[in-house]
């Protein structure tokens, strides 16, 4: 047998063997969460990142994150349907302002900032993320999608007053870091981070309320304080999406938050559902589960 024929046969055999191995091992590893987590933790422990190619967008993720990273790796998306639903609702209501600024509060690794700029509706963005490892991935994701020059990254938390606070870190969910409480019983690590009022920070960047098209806020139960820090921006009823977390608020805080919104906004939509009509703001009083809500 000639050398070229032997190499061709061997190449075909090696390819067939690899494909058989993939078909046998991939279902075993990837369809069983426990085994899948072992693989992901091993990658994370070695400092590796994973680049998720979604076709039109790409994201670098930490494989040790079981929340946003896991959704991007295994489900090829994170809250993109909710984001697109919010944009569609605002467009139908005539409240989607063209060539405006998108403000991402608790931006994590930048999924929503990337979604926003990808729509073409928003020309630039401001992204606040106080946790350094998340902020690093945020900057990488802006760069890999070609948006780095259009975004100001602010490595700070948003609150009701300027100062500093302890950011308690979740050991597995990199989007669940929280101010005011430890998000996991087996956690214990925290960071001292700067806190700013949003109205002051945006003002320092030369961004007025009329420039803002949409504010997206996910700050793990710290929403009442962050919303208070918007100050006069709320008086302009700038469209706002935030994670409503009623079980993390006491009764007085929940009531005060709803009153703050009701004084400035008329309608609310829960983004997890497909309700045909918007509800009045007071409908939030009956909500007792965490949900992303759009007020406008």
Q: Could you tell me the residue ranges of all domains in the chain?
A: 1-31, 35-78, 80-295
Looking at per-residue pLDDT, the higher value among 173 and 273 belongs to: 173
Residue 41 near residue 47 (C-beta atoms within 8 A): no
What is the C-alpha separation between 106 and 206, in angstroms, rounded? Answer: 20
What is the C-alpha separation between 102 and 95, in angstroms, rounded? Answer: 14
| pLDDT surpassing 70 at residue 105 | yes
Number of H helices and E strands in the chain, helices first, is 9, 14
Tens-digit pLDDT profile for residues 194-249: 999 999 999 999 999 999 999 999 999 999 999 999 999 999 999 999 999 999 99
Those residues with Cβ within 8 angstroms of residue 238's Cβ, 6 or more apart along the chain or in another chain: 209, 212, 214, 215
Three-state DSSP class for residue 295: strand
Buried b or exposed e, range 32-58, using 16+ CB within 10 angstroms: eeeebeeebeeebeeeebeebeeeebb
Structure tokens belonging to residue 40: 């992901």
Tens-digit pLDDT profile for residues 139-178: 999 999 999 999 999 999 999 999 999 999 999 999 999 9
Task: Tell the residue number behind the tokens 């930490």, with chain if given.
Answer: 62
Residues in the chain: 296
| pLDDT surpassing 80 at residue 29 | no
What is the C-alpha separation between 176 and 288, in angstroms, rounded? Answer: 19
Whole-model pTM? 0.89
Among the listed residues 294, 255, 258, the one whose alpha carbon sits nearest the alpha carbon of residue 273: 294
Those residues with Cβ within 8 angstroms of residue 187's Cβ, 6 or more apart along the chain or in another chain: 168, 169, 170, 171
Strand stretches in 183-232, DSSP E: 190-196, 212-217
Say which CATH class 80-295 falls into. alpha beta
- Alpha-carbon torsion (282, 287, 288, 293), positive or negative: negative
Whole-number mean pLDDT of the chain?
A: 92
| pLDDT surpassing 90 at residue 112 | yes
Looking at per-residue pLDDT, the higher value among 274 and 251 belongs to: 251
Q: Are strands 122-128 and 100-105 parallel, antiparallel or unpaired?
A: parallel
């Amino acid at each position: 047998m000639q050398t070229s024929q032997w190499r061709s046969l061997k190449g075909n055999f090696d390819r067939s063997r690899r494909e058989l191995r993939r078909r046998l091992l991939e279902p075993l590893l990837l369809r069983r969460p426990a085994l899948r987590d072992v693989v992901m933790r091993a990658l994370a422990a070695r400092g590796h990142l994973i680049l998720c190619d979604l076709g039109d967008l790409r994201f670098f993720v930490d494989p040790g994150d079981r929340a946003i990273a896991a959704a991007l790796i295994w489900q090829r998306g994170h809250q993109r349907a909710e984001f697109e639903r919010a944009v569609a609702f605002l467009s139908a209501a005539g409240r989607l302002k063209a060539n405006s600024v998108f403000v991402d509060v608790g931006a994590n690794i930048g999924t929503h900032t990337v979604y926003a700029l990808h729509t073409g509706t928003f020309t630039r963005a401001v992204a606040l993320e106080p946790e350094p490892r998340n902020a690093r991935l945020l900057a990488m994701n802006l760069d890999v999608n070609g948006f780095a020059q259009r975004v100001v990254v602010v490595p700070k938390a948003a609150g009701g007053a300027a100062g500093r606070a302890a950011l308690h870190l979740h050991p597995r969910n990199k989007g669940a870091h929280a101010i005011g409480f430890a998000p996991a019983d087996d956690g214990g690590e925290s960071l001292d981070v700067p806190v700013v009022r949003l109205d002051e920070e945006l003002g320092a960047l030369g961004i007025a309320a009329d420039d803002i098209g949409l504010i997206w806020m996910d700050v793990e139960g710290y929403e009442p304080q962050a919303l208070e820090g918007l100050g006069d921006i709320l008086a302009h009823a700038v469209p706002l999406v935030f994670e409503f977390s009623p079980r993390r608020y006491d009764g007085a805080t929940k009531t005060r938050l709803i009153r703050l919104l009701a004084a400035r906004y008329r309608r609310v939509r829960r983004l997890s559902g497909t309700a045909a009509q918007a509800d009045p703001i007071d409908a939030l009083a009956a909500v007792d589960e965490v949900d992303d809500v759009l007020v406008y």
